[in-house]
Amino acid sequence: MPDGLIGPNRRNAWTARPGGVSLLRPARAPRPVTVEALPQTVTLNLAATALIVVDMQNDFCAADGWLASIGVDITPARSPIPVLADLLPRLRAADVPVVWLNWGNRPDRANLPPGVLHVYDADGTGGGIGAVLPDGRGPVLERGSPSAAVVAELEPAAGDVHVAKYRMSGFQDTELDSVLRNLRVDTLLFAGVNADQCVLATLMDAANLGYDVLVLQDAVATTSPPFCLDATLYNVRQCFGFTLTGTALAESL
C-alpha cells in the first residue's frame, strides 16, 4: 500500500496524516452493465462485483490429475477453460477482482472430519484426500502441491486473490467472506466445477450471507450426470439468483 493508506487493499483503506486519520474509503463510481440472464435480465455494478472461480485445479481438470487417475472422465470439467480464458482478461481490465477458490487441505488433515474424508475414501483404504498419486504427484488436494494448483491453461494474474477451501462450500472454515468484504463487493459471479457440488454449496452460503449471486452457466461444469447440472441451474434461478453466460457478459464488457 502507498504511504498514508491503511488497509488490506485500495478498495478498503483509511487515509492517515500526521495527527489524524480519515475513515472515508475511496469513492468508486458505479459501472453498470446490463446482461441477458434467467429468469430476468440483470444490471450489474462492476465496481461492486467479483468473480469466484471454483476448483479449476489439476486434481479435477488435468489429464494427469487425481480424478483422471481414478478413471473419471474429466472432459466436462475442462469445458469452462476456453470461456474463462476469454473472459478473465476482460474482467481484470474492468477492475473486477478474480478469486481462485481451490481445494487445498492441510498436510495433516487436522481440520477434516470423517464425513469429509469418507466422501473420497469410502472403503477406508486411504485413496482420497492426501493420497500420493501413482506417478508420485500430489498429495491429493493438498495446499501447495501441484494437485491444488490452477490448471495451466488458466494462469492466474498477479493481482488475483487465492483462497483455499476444505469443504464443498468455500465459506466454511475459511477467510473467503472476510476477503470479499474487504474488496467491498456485494455481487458474485460463479464459475468452475463441480457445478452441483462445490459451486452450488459456495453459492448457497453466499446467498445466505446476503451476496447477490449469478452463475456463468457456460463457465461451470460437472462430472456428474447431466440432470445434476440441469437441476442446479434450475434451483439457482428459482431460489437464489440468476444464470447468464460468460459469453454474454464478455460481449457486454
- For this structure, is 239 an active site residue? no
Q: Which of 59, 61, 198, 205 is catalytic?
A: 198
- Do 164 and 102 meet the contact criterion of CB atoms below 8 Å apart? yes
Cα separation, 97 vs 46, in Å, equals 10
Dump strand ranges (E) for 140-245. 161-165, 187-192, 212-220, 242-244
Q: Which of 55, 59, 205, 218 is catalytic?
A: 55
Sign for the pseudo-dihedral over CA of 69, 73, 75, 78: negative
Q: Helix or strand or coil: residue 32? A: strand
CA 31 to chain centre: 22
Cα separation, 8 vs 114, in Å, equals 35
DSSP character at residue 197: I
All cell numbers assigned to 75: 472432459
- The residues pairing with 212 across neighbouring beta strands, listed in sequence order, are 187
Encode 78-99: b = buried (16+ Cβ within 10 Å), e = exposed: bbbbebbeebbeebbeeebbbb
Q: Which of 59, 61, 165, 212 is catalytic?
A: 165
- For this structure, is 198 an active site residue? yes
- Do 51 and 91 meet the contact criterion of CB atoms below 8 Å apart? yes
All cell numbers assigned to 137: 504427484
All cell numbers assigned to 76: 466436462
Query: Residues with catalytic annotation?
Result: 55, 165, 198
